[in-house]
């Protein structure tokens, strides 16, 4: 592995609990709920073969397996693979790099990339991962890929009362440079614009590409209200707006996460 990949593995092994992330905060709960809804809309019927690349500890893989899909998970982090195998239901899983998948051509009905793109800071690597996902997916099948919005961090810090001068400066930097500085938090990561994500999918050979905003434009309101008396009401409203504005071009980038989908030729 390269130096950046080693640091990402170390981050998720010793410094961050990915298996707890999707239940911690309103943003994460919205991310999980809306991602599952979008997968239900976009994937073929249960029974299909799904490859979950960068599937982490297996939260989405278990959800799909429980719905009747045949799921295989790949992840760069060995600790995540152990967790995926040990969960209930257990998931078939092995260690692999999204840029060089071990699976044969066209063996899956759909392939998910719900994490790798935002840890590949070089455009060529992201396109390589998308092309690999397309390679292992049958013609006419679908690749579904997640990215972090270019504006997620500053919006999050403002909503939760943490926007200081450092993050304001970072917000200005992110207008032109999507690469995260691991010295100020998180790990090696890249934050997308919506049109950029669509362009990378097209460059990898996918057609009929659509980009969705996952959490919707009101996730910051849910974060701001999290500890107040209206927390549940604001969360419900944010979820409703996430559904209504899912593919509205003017609002996609307001989501914390983007979800692109395209068909394999």
pLDDT one-digit tens code per residue, 21-55: 999 999 999 999 999 999 999 999 999 999 999 99
Q: If you ran DSSP here, which 8-state letter would residue 50 be given?
A: E
Q: What H or E segment, with its residue span, contains residue 17? A: none
d(CA 242, CA 127): 27
In this prediction, residues 219-245 reach a mean pLDDT of 98
Q: Does pLDDT of 184 surpass 90?
A: no
Q: Does pLDDT of 108 surpass 90?
A: yes
In this prediction, residues 205-219 reach a mean pLDDT of 98
Give the model's pLDDT for residue 257: 98
d(CA 10, CA 33): 28
Express each pLDDT in 156-166 by its tens digit: 999 999 999 99
d(CA 58, CA 56): 5
Residue 216: partners with Cβ closer than 8 Å, 6 or more residues away:
30, 34, 238, 239, 241, 242, 243, 244, 245, 246, 251, 254, 255
Percent of the chain with pLDDT over 70: 100
- Kindly indicate whether the domain formed by 3-263 is annotated with CATH number 1.10.8.420: no
Give the model's pLDDT for residue 87: 86
């Amino acid at each position: 592995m390269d130096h950046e990949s080693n640091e990402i593995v170390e981050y998720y092994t010793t410094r961050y609990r990915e298996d707890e992330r999707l239940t911690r905060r309103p943003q994460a709960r919205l991310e999980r709920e809306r991602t599952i809804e979008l997968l239900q809309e976009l994937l073929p019927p249960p029974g299909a073969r799904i490859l979950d690349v960068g599937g982490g500890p297996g939260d989405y893989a278990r959800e799909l397996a429980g719905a009747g899909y045949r799921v295989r998970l790949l992840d760069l982090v060995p600790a995540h693979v152990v967790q995926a195998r040990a969960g209930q239901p257990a998931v078939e899983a092995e260690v692999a790099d999204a840029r060089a998948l071990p699976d044969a051509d066209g063996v899956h009905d759909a392939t998910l990339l719900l994490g790798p793109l935002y840890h590949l800071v070089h455009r060529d690597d992201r396109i390589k991962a998308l092309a690999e996902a397309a390679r292992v997916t049958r013609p006419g099948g679908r690749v579904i890929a997640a990215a972090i919005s270019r504006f997620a961090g500053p919006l999050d810090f403002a909503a939760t009362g943490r926007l200081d001068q450092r993050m304001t400066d970072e917000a200005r930097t992110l207008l032109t440079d999507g690469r995260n500085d691991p010295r100020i938090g998180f790990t090696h990561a890249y934050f997308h614009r919506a049109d950029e994500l669509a362009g990378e999918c097209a460059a990898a050979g996918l057609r009929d590409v659509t980009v969705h905003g996952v959490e919707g434009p009101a996730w910051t309101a849910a974060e701001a209200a999290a500890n107040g008396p209206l927390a549940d009401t604001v969360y419900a409203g944010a979820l409703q707006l996430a559904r209504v504005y899912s593919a509205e071009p003017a609002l996609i980038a307001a989501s914390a996460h983007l979800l692109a989908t395209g068909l394999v030729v």
